[in-house]
Amino acid sequence: MFFHLLLILKQLNSKLKCSKQLQSKLWLRELLCISLLGFSFVACISQANAANPKILVYGDSLSAAYGVAKSQGWVAFLQKKLADQHFQYDVINASISGETTSGGLTRLTSTLAKTKPNIIILELGANDGLRGLPVNEMSANLNTMITQSKKANVKVLLVGMKIPPNYGPKYTDSFSNTYPQLSQQHKVTLVPFMLENIAAKPKLIQDDGLHPNVLGQPMMLDNIWPKLQPLLKR
């Protein structure tokens, strides 16, 4: 396009019998036109190649839309909410049903390198609790994942979890206290309890008694969004 324009202008110059002053003006006009078009072309290329920032959802079945269609999971609703509120983020869901903090830790380095997120929503630990795994090991795994994420310049949103009281008060208290302790230690934002106003309501839970149904999925996002929004940039 630019070379074609240049050829036309040069042909006009050669045909015009004008003064040196007029030729000089035409030549300046030609240079200005080419420069402006070139600038516009570069700007369009830069805009086309500009990748949206990424939000990595790194969790277990609660974030993997277990028992419901992917389009009805809270992560899918998050992508829609971001678009509706004009936040140009791409959401990457790397959640795996049954994942523990140990499993999450083993794949975090490669996942961060591959996805290059700006924000990580770290939602792990529920399966550690349900299996009665040592809380100190869960805490150590989460601690390392937060540290690795921060070293990669990734903002961390830590999602807290609680477990049923039948595990005993000592274990359940130690488990639930892990999240605010890590949040305070690393100065990262905390969602106190992902299933707030959901867990105790059977009509919002699937028949397994653990996972939110299609009615509970948007409510999980409602619990997460107020803590996530301040981390976002337009």
Helix, strand, coil tally for the chain in percent (to 5):
55, 10, 30
60, 86, 208, 222: the catalytic one is 208
Annotation says 208 is catalytic: yes
Give me the amino acid identity at 67: G
135-151 and 169-186 are packed helices; what angle lies between their axes, rounded to 10 degrees?
A: 20
The token duo for 27 is 């030549």
61, 63, 149, 176: the catalytic one is 61
Annotation says 211 is catalytic: yes
Annotation says 61 is catalytic: yes
35, 84, 211, 222: the catalytic one is 211
Name, in order, each residue with C-beta under 8 angstroms of 103's C-beta and a sequence gap of 6 or more. 96
Give me the amino acid identity at 182: L
Report, as residue numbers or ranges, the catalytic residues: 61, 208, 211
